[in-house]
Amino acid sequence: MVKEDYKSKEEAREKPVVRCKACITRFEVTQDATEAACPECGAEWRISWPEPDTPYIRGSK
Ligand SMILES: [Zn+2]
C-alpha cells in the first residue's frame, strides 16, 4: 500500500514577474495590471495575461 505523501499546498508561490525588454531585468507586476514600469530603467510596458498567473509584455506603452 503506497501512502501518498501529500504536502501542504504552501508551495513557494511565485509572484508574477515579467522581464523588461529594454534591460532584461525581471520585475514583479501587480496581479492583473495592464501596464507596468521597469524599476531598473523606467521603461513602461503594456501587460497582458494569457494565463491568470502569467503576465506577458505586449509592447511599449
Ligand atoms: Zn528595464
Q: pTM of whole model > 0.85?
A: no
Distance 19 CA to ligand 1 centre (A): 8
Measured in Å, residue 3 CA sits from the centre of ligand 1 at 48
Gap from CA of 11 to ligand 1 centroid (Å): 29
- Quote the ligand 1 centre to 60 CA distance (angstroms): 11
- At residue 26, the pLDDT reads 97
**Segment 13-58, tens digit of pLDDT:** 678 999 999 999 999 999 999 999 999 999 999 999 999 999 999 9
For residue 2, what is its C-alpha cell?
503506497
- Check residues 40 and 10 and name the one with the higher pLDDT: 40
Q: What pLDDT sits at residue 14?
A: 77
pLDDT of residue 3: 65
15-40 b/e (C-beta count within 10 Å ≥ 16 → b): ebebebeeeeeebebeeeeeebebee
Distance 20 CA to ligand 1 centre (A): 5
- Residue 10 pLDDT more than 60? no
